[in-house]
Amino acid sequence: MVVCLKQVPMVSELPWDPATGTLRRELAEGMMNPACRAALEAALRIREAEGGEITAITMGPPMAEEVLREAIALGADRGVLLTDRKMAGSDTSVTSFTLARAIEKICPQFDLVLCGFATCDSETAQVGPQLAEELDVPGVGYVDEIAVSGQTVRMQRLSDNFLETLEMDLPGLITVTTGVYIPRHVPLGGLQAAFDTADIVTLDTASLGLDSERIGVKGSATKILNVTSPAAGKKNIVLTGTPKRIVEQLFERFDDKIGGAIGKDLKQDK
């Protein structure tokens, strides 16, 4: 099994440079994306029932190695880090291309690839389905529950108000929601061991034999023209005091707004 992981910033308000429009990611602490964590949990449970090996793979800056160490502490057998400056700025199509070539190189006999259904920083939910296309295997997204038996896998998911039970032959790819696979806690000793001893394989563009024109920002079809912060325009009025006094202020200043939304005139009854 291969589990794809992504390190995402832990804070909800990312440090951001309004002059250049770029994110100051280096200031943010990283964590394993929650849906990726659920995908890893699903892999661990499948291994408990069916056996097998789990390879955790991530693409990102060198610090993304942390999520591989964490995955190993949780029970993954090995970690693979794809890191290269040339990979920076990849869109989802290029990311899935790069991941697919790495999986073909390190784990060509895979049965199942598991991904989180989406990441909480960019939220596109595109890499999983595109990775299935790249690997030319069947794939199912937004899966809540997985049952593997031999070379077939049965899945349940809720898709647009339809509860679907699906079946596919392996090898295949599944993206996992955070609904059912509640991640286990990291054993403290295991974490120490994972940082001290575990082997992490690091691959770059050259070792994957990739054409640098096809990857990273160069290979990406979409181009970002500019970035703005919608929160910046907000006034952020702060109200303090006793609850009664605050509620009075709220109604004095925003009765039209609240009344408009609820379809009632709050003023006339005062």
Partner 1 sequence: MSVRKRAIWVFGDYRNYFQNRVTLQLLSRARDLAKKIDGEVCAVVFGYWTDEWVDDALSRNPTFCGVVGEYIAHGADKVYLTDHPRLAAYSMETYALLMERLAKREKPETILIGATTFGREFAPRVAKRLGTGLTADCIGLDINEEGFLLQTAPSFGGNLVAEIVTPERRPQMATVRPGTFQEIPHDTLRTGEVVKVPLPKDLPADRVRLIRVEHRPPRGRRIEDAKVVVCGGRGMGSKKKFAKLFELAELLNGEVGATRPVVYADWADHDALVGQAGKHIKPQILFSFGISGAIQHTAACNDAKFIIAVNKNPNAAMMKKADVAIVADASQLCTALIQELKRCIR
224-243: contacts with partner 1 (CB under 8 A): 224-231, 234-241, 243
Nearer to partner 1, 196 or 269 (CB): 269
Token pair 């029932």 in the structure block, residue = 49
Alpha carbons 189 and 202: distance in angstroms, whole number:
24
CB of 230 to partner 1, least distance (A): 5
Distance separating alpha carbons of residues 50 and 152, to the nearest angstrom: 12
Closest CB 210 distance from partner 1, rounded Å: 16
Cβ atoms of 165 and 41 closer than 8 Å = no
Choice between 52 and 259, CB closer to partner 1 = 259
Query: Would you give the distance in Å from CA 95 to the centre of its chain?
Result: 13
Contacts to partner 1 from residues 180-209, by CB under 8 A:
none
* Rounded least distance, CB 179 to partner 1, Å: 6
Q: Of the two residues 120 and 200, which places its CB atom closer to partner 1 in the complex?
A: 120
- 263 binding partner 1? (CB under 8 A): yes
Contact 5, 119 (CB under 8 A): no
Taking the alpha carbons at both ends of the chain, their separation in whole angstroms is 65
Which helix (DSSP H) or strand (DSSP E) does residue 14 occupy?
none
Which of 168, 198, 201, 217 touches partner 1 (CB under 8 A)?
A: 168
Site for partner 1 in 21-60 (CB under 8 A): 23, 34-35
| Interface map 106-145 toward partner 1 (x if CB under 8 A) | -----------xx-xxxxxxxx-xx-xxx--xxxxxx---
Q: In whole angstroms, give the CA distance from residue 165 to residue 143.
A: 10
88 is a site residue for partner 1 (CB under 8 A): no
Q: At what angle do helices 188-196 and 65-74 cross, to 10 degrees?
A: 130
* 19 binds partner 1, rule: CB under 8 A: no
